[in-house]
């Protein structure tokens, strides 16, 4: 077989920072440091320091394939650590500090991290983890000598370590399939499982997602990744932003609406990326103060309620929705417009943006029924959503969970979805959250989004409660908006105009706050534990299934 006669140029993430250093060397990278002040640097400086970091790691004995954990917020040092590890063929491993401590210990032990680079704010956490998972590991604090704390731990200082190194260490040449990054799923069922990204999958994901129909990034963009680097590979932004030379604004550990809006205004942010829950508090501010320079948002990781789409449209911000998962590097679909949708009414256009969108190049989607039959794309049939492509996981770290692909390479996402004639995916539910009432399925997501679109509701979660006749019935746990008063009966009556009668929750419980998982999603498991057993349905037994 003859070969193509083009150069062999492995897709390594280090080539991204090389390019940013050469072509966008003076472009700014701004961080809200964990120590407090705003820190300004450039891609050229980050590239230089990433090589120093690589040399320091190598001096500490880190070898190709070793895991280098990061327990850190989004800052320039965290970016340097990713590229520094990759420079010497080591694997950056993002540890989500919001997980339970027992899960963090499990993850660090399972990954067998050699080194842990941690932010100052996590020293108390590290001290608590010392016995369960830190023995024999080198801990580097991502700070300067003046900030090093008194601690019983043996801690090294990042700035001192890298200052001692030259900045010209050549990059280790690797095959593009070499491992690059390790990220664990949040483990809402069972233990967390690791997804091991390759250099190739990371570069491909950045190449594919920076384009106009996904993130629309360019050197003129000012990009704010609110999604933490420890969640789902930070939607690839640590790769796609330097790939195009976009200005990067990193929010550190201050992710409240006031800090985020302040940073967006001061730094001229044009695009922000985050899960829906971060926007709940930011929307009233944006409404009051105007959008400023902010042009575009990509929101994903959980369903987006209609009120949020309408709010952003009213403020003049283009909001696209994305769907994906840790196992997909992580993005798979976005609500990019298609010419075939031009004839839709304004309301139908909004309906499309309430969906997860269509897969872009490199992602194939299909839905299958209970017997494995492929279902039609008619927006009516719902089934298990399956995906495949070069940025989709082939197996979990160390084989956890066994075989995850079928014979044709399809990966079951655990989501239940419909696909419409435009290829747009509508996520009905996570398979484990769907409410099975009288043999039919009620989408907890649709119920939550309908409730959250009531102006007096800030957030809502729908869970299944056992029912003697219907098997399961929905219970809605809701948080009222500040200062709002709304009764259970009023909310149920309002929902009556928006969802099928048999979908109406049997009970609404108002609470001050809803629990969220470590990745910002509603924690249905905690809600089921709290309310599932001791909250039997009321006299709504007569509600009919139609």
To the query of whether residue 436 is one of the catalytic residues in this protein, the response is: yes
Residue 303 CB, shortest distance to ligand ADP, in Å, is 4
> For residues 204 and 445, which CB has a smaller minimum distance to ligand ADP in the complex?
445
> For residues 36 and 401, which CB has a smaller minimum distance to ligand ADP in the complex?
401
Pairing of strands 358-359, 364-368: unpaired
CA 408 to chain centre: 27
CA-to-CA dists, residue 448 to 2, 68, 140, 455, 518, angstroms: 56, 39, 43, 13, 20
Residue 299 CB, shortest distance to ligand ADP, in Å, is 7
> For residues 147 and 525, which CB has a smaller minimum distance to ligand ADP in the complex?
525
Cα distance between residue 245 and residue 253, in whole Å: 24
Q: Are 16 and 181 in contact (CB under 8 A)?
A: no
> For residues 43 and 230, which CB has a smaller minimum distance to ligand ADP in the complex?
230
Q: Are 180 and 199 in contact (CB under 8 A)?
A: yes
Tokens of 186: 């949040």
Residue 188 CB, shortest distance to ligand ADP, in Å, is 6
Residue 330 CB, shortest distance to ligand ADP, in Å, is 6
Residue 192 CB, shortest distance to ligand ADP, in Å, is 8
Cβ contacts of 512 within 8 Å, gap of 6 or more: 479
Exactly one of 28, 35, 440, 441 is catalytic; which is it? 441
Residue 268 CB, shortest distance to ligand ADP, in Å, is 27
To the query of whether residue 279 is one of the catalytic residues in this protein, the response is: no
Chain contacts with ligand ADP (rule: CB under 6 A): 185-186, 232, 300-303, 321, 323, 325-326, 330, 356, 413-415, 427, 430, 517, 519, 521
Give rounded-to-5 percent helix, strand, coil for the chain.
Answer: 35, 25, 40
Cβ contacts of 333 within 8 Å, gap of 6 or more: 322, 323, 324, 356, 357, 358, 359, 360, 363, 365, 424, 425
To the query of whether residue 441 is one of the catalytic residues in this protein, the response is: yes
Residue 230 CB, shortest distance to ligand ADP, in Å, is 11
> For residues 97 and 537, which CB has a smaller minimum distance to ligand ADP in the complex?
97
To the query of whether residue 334 is one of the catalytic residues in this protein, the response is: no
Residue 416 CB, shortest distance to ligand ADP, in Å, is 9
How many C-beta atoms lie closer than 10 Å to residue 391's C-beta? 27
Exactly one of 80, 176, 327, 459 is catalytic; which is it? 327
> For residues 253 and 519, which CB has a smaller minimum distance to ligand ADP in the complex?
519
How many C-beta atoms lie closer than 10 Å to residue 540's C-beta? 13
Exactly one of 41, 138, 143, 185 is catalytic; which is it? 185
Q: What is the 3-state secondary structure (H, E, C) of 479-539?
A: EECCCCCCCHHHHHHHHHCCCCHHHCCCEEEECCCCCECCCCCECHHHHHHHHHCCCCCCH
What does the DSSP assignment read for 165-194? Answer: S-S-PPPPP--TTSEEEEEE---SSSS--E
> For residues 157 and 280, which CB has a smaller minimum distance to ligand ADP in the complex?
280
Exactly one of 436, 490, 501, 540 is catalytic; which is it? 436
Q: Are 285 and 66 in contact (CB under 8 A)?
A: no
φ and ψ at 101, to 5 degrees? -60, -35
Instruction: DSSP letter for 133, please.
Output: I
The set of catalytic residues is: 185, 327, 436, 441
């Amino acid at each position: 077989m003859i070969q193509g006669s083009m150069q062999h140029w492995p897709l390594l993430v280090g080539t991204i920072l090389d390019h940013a250093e050469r072509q966008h060397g003076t472009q700014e990278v701004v961080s809200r440091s964990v120590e407090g002040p705003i820190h300004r640097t450039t891609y050229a400086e980050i590239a230089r320091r990433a090589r120093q970091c690589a040399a320091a790691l190598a001096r500490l004995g880190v070898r190709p394939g070793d895991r280098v954990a990061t327990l850190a917020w989004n800052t320039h040092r965290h970016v340097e650590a990713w590229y520094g590890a990759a420079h010497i063929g080591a694997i950056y491993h993002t540890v989500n500090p919001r997980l339970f401590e027992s899960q963090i210990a499990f993850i660090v032990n399972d990954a067998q991290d050699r080194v842990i680079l941690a932010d100052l704010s996590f020293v108390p956490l590290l001290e608590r983890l010392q016995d369960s998972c830190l023995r024999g590991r080198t801990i580097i604090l991502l700070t300067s000598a003046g900030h090093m704390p008194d601690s019983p731990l043996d801690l090294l200082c990042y700035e001192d370590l890298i200052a001692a190194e030259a900045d010209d260490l050549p990059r280790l040449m690797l095959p593009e399939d070499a491992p690059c990054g390790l990220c664990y799923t949040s483990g809402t069922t069972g233990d967390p499982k690791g997804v091991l990204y390759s250099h190739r999958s990371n570069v491909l994901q950045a190449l594919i997602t920076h384009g106009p129909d996904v993130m629309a990034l360019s050197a003129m963009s000012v990009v704010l990744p609110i999604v933490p680097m420890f969640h789902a590979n930070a939607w690839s932004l640590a790769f796609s932003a330097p790939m195009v030379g976009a200005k990067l604004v990193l929010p550190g550990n201050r992710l409240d609406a006031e800090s985020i809006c302040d940073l967006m205004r001061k730094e001229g942010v044009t695009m922000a990326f985050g899960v829906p829950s971060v926007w709940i508090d930011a929307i009233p501010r944006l409404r009051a103060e105007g959008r400023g320079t902010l042009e575009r948002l990509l929101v994903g990781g959980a369903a987006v309620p209609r009120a949020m789409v309408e709010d952003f449209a009213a403020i003049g911000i283009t909001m696209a929705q994305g769907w994906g998962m840790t196992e997909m590097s992580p993005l798979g679909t976005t609500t990019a417009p298609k010419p075939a949708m031009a004839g839709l009414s304004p309301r139908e256009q909004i309906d499309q943006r309430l969906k997860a969108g269509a897969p872009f190049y490199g992602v194939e989607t299909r839905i299958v029924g209970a017997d494995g039959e492929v279902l039609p794309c008619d927006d009516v049939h719902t089934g298990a959503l399956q995906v495949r492509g070069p940025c989709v996981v082939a197996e979990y770290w160390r084989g956890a969970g066994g075989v995850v692909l079928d014979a044709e390479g399809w990966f079951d996402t655990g989501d239940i979805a419909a696909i419409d004639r435009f290829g747009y995916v509508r996520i009905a539910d996570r398979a484990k959250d769907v409410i099975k009432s009288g043999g039919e399925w009620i989408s907890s997501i649709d119920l939550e989004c309908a409730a959250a679109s009531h102006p007096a509701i800030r957030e809502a979660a729908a869970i299944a409660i056992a029912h003697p006749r219907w098997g399961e019935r929905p219970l809605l746990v809701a948080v009222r908006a500040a200062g709002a008063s709304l009764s259970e009966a009023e909310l149920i009556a309002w929902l009556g105009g928006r969802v099928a009668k048999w979908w109406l929750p049997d009970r609404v419980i108002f609470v001050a706050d809803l629990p969220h998982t470590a990745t910002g999603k509603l924690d249905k498991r905690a809600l089921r534990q709290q309310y599932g057993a001791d909250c039997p349905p009321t006299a709504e037994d007569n509600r009919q299934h139609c």
